[in-house]
Amino acid sequence: MILFRISLNPVPWFDVKLANENIKFMNDFEDNDIVCRHMQLTKADIVKVIRDKKLTTFEQVQDETDAATICGSCAADVEAILEEELKNREEG
């Protein structure tokens, strides 16, 4: 699996994943996909902490997981996961 960034001006940077010739944007991570390479955190790890601790801010996620605290390249991914979870929480 290769992770890299692409720029589509004026669209902001998006993380993409190439897997079997398919491109997935950051909010399409599967549960077992590594989101934070430095901390070796998967999407499932981050989602579990958000749900279990009822987190509502990016800073809270950072404090609980240390995600996006070393190089920050996963910050947009972590924020997208948090936003998705908050939306799911509101919908019930």
Q: What is the CATH number of the domain that holds 44?
A: 1.10.10.1100
Number of domains in the chain: 1
* pTM (two decimals): 0.72
The angle at the Cα of 10, spanning 34 to 67, to the nearest 5 degrees, equals 25
pLDDT of residue 92: 79
Q: pLDDT at position 18, please?
A: 46
User: What confidence score (pLDDT) does residue 28 get?
Assistant: 74
Residue 25 has a pLDDT of 54
Q: What is the pLDDT of residue 27?
A: 57
Q: Which segments of the chain have a pLDDT < 70? A: 1-27
Distance CA 88, CA 75 (A): 20
Domain assignment of residue 31, given as a range: 2-91
